[in-house]
Amino acid sequence: MRSVTILGATGSVGASTVDLIKREKQRFRVEAVTADSKATELAQVARDVGARLAVVADPAAYTELKNALSGSGIEAAAGADALDEAAARPADWVMAAISGAVGLKPTMAAIERGATVALANKECLVCAGSLFMRRAAATGATVLPVDSEHNAIFQALGAGRREDVRRIILTASGGPFRTWTQAQIRSATIEQALRHPNWSMGPKISIDSATMMNKGLELIEAYHLFALKAGEIDILVHPQSVVHGLVEFRDGSVVAQLGAPDMRIPIAHCLAWPKRIDGPAPRLDLAQIRDLTFEAPDTVRFPALALARRALEAGGAAPTVLNAANEVAVGAFIAGRIGFPSIAALVEATLEAATVRGLLGEPAGIEAALAVDHIARSLARDLLSENAVKAS
Ligand code: NAD
Ligand code: MG
């Protein structure tokens, strides 16, 4: 019996995790589940999996949570500290699936007690990757990659020795605008950007797939997870999303992981690791798919990818600023304040402003990383209100 906690239990990754756990109730006991403010939804999840504790980050949602849990014997709590405490509770395995930089602190709380952390929240590694990996090594915490591409690399790395790896390749679907011209992309709407061809995901990451910033964030994520040099990580566009990641060894062998584009596959891998459990995802039928195609990424139509690589090479807090500016930009795009190409433009302008202000030194700890995140957000908001980036 493995005890588990799910941070971000009401989200897309959280719901897939809950789905797997409900199918294997005899193997898993749920300690805590958390959400932002959707108290009634969270209470239902907590009842479904028999959690001991349910936490909403928003204190205003406490009464609703308490009422929805009445008679269940499940403890209710609210607020940012309660979120960290949920992560610090003794569960063997923690799913870190809160979206955004708010996931840093609770995820670190799980790392600090040496838990096995299934890491979906890529912001932890993008904003403070060196720190997370250093603390994990110090506390004996195990970090298992949930992100499908990184999970694929993790599995493929098992085929050889670390020192024999020549490079890794992360695949990208190319998003909904893969075949669009630059002019078409310029006037892309929110609805069009949200329509991911292969994966069903939360709104933020769906927009990131459309700009390809998601792959940029994943590049930084891979750099930290697998202790690689930036030049050892390549991106390959693969529209079918069947081959998720490849590892090239020095003898020329390339080992890949394949699977249907269903997050329950990498999540199931992390849930059972180092064993395997039966997965409910559709099985791969290559004869039916027939064609797997690949193409080089286009950084002219998708400048976010080049921005992320530059931030990775600059190091220090540049990826932290990149991520913060991107969150503000995606929010502004979803709110209809800026056009699609302004997302990358705002990120670039924020990186420039942060460089001028000397903000790009390596953050010493989580608080320092969050402080940079905070300043970068306000820089991005200032640039937005000054109309420093064009509306379309
Ligand atoms: P989502 O938006 O569907 O869900 C986010 C979860 O976090 C929800 O449970 C929400 O309640 C919680 N949350 C949001 N803001 C919060 C706050 N301020 N305080 C506390 N909790 C908060 O997101 P998702 O698509 O499930 O993605 C989660 C993370 O996993 C992201 O970092 C994303 O990049 C990563 N990821 C997702 C996928 C995917 O297929 N969805 C794939 C790879 C990686
Ligand atoms: Mg991914």
**CB distance 202 to ligand 1 below 6 Å:** yes
The residues placing their C-beta within 5 Å of ligand 2, an ion, are 147-149
pLDDT of 391 above 70: no
Closest approach atom of ligand 1 to CA 123? 32
pLDDT tens digits, one per residue of 270-306? 999 999 999 999 999 999 999 999 999 999 999 999 9
**CB distance 84 to ligand 1 below 6 Å:** no
Of the two residues 199 and 320, the one the predictor is more confident about is 320
| Among the bound ligands, the one closest to the CA of 12 | 1
pLDDT tens digits, one per residue of 159-200? 999 999 999 999 999 999 999 999 999 999 999 999 988 887
pLDDT tens digits, one per residue of 332-352? 999 999 999 999 999 999 999
| Percent of the chain topping pLDDT 70 | 99
pLDDT of 23 above 70: yes
Task: Write down all domains in the chain, each with its CATH number in brackets.
Answer: 2-145 (3.40.50.720), 150-174+212-289 (no CATH), 303-385 (1.10.1740.10)
Closest approach atom of ligand 1 to CA 120? 30
Query: Measured between alpha carbons, how far is 211 from 259 in angstroms, rounded to an integer?
Result: 24
CA angle centred on 369, ends 365 and 371, rounded to 5°: 115
Q: How confident is the model at residue 74 (pLDDT cuts 50, 70, 90)?
A: very high
Mean pLDDT of 225-233: 97
Mean pLDDT of 44-54: 98
Let me know: does 225 contact 211? Beta carbons within 8 Å. no
Partner residues linked to 95 by β-bridges? 6, 118
Name the pTM for this structure.
Answer: 0.96
What is the 10 CA–ligand 1 centroid distance (Å)?
Answer: 8
Query: Measured between alpha carbons, how far is 314 from 292 in angstroms, rounded to an integer?
Result: 34
Chain-wide mean pLDDT for the chain? 96
Query: Measured between alpha carbons, how far is 54 from 31 in angstroms, rounded to an integer?
Result: 9
Note the pLDDT of residue 202.
83
Mean pLDDT of 231-238: 98
Task: Using alpha carbons, select from 122, 121, 126, 128 the residue that is nearest to residue 95.
Answer: 121
Mean pLDDT of 130-157: 98
Q: How confident is the model at residue 390 (pLDDT cuts 50, 70, 90)?
A: low
Note the pLDDT of residue 257.
98
Residue 133 tokens read as 């990996």
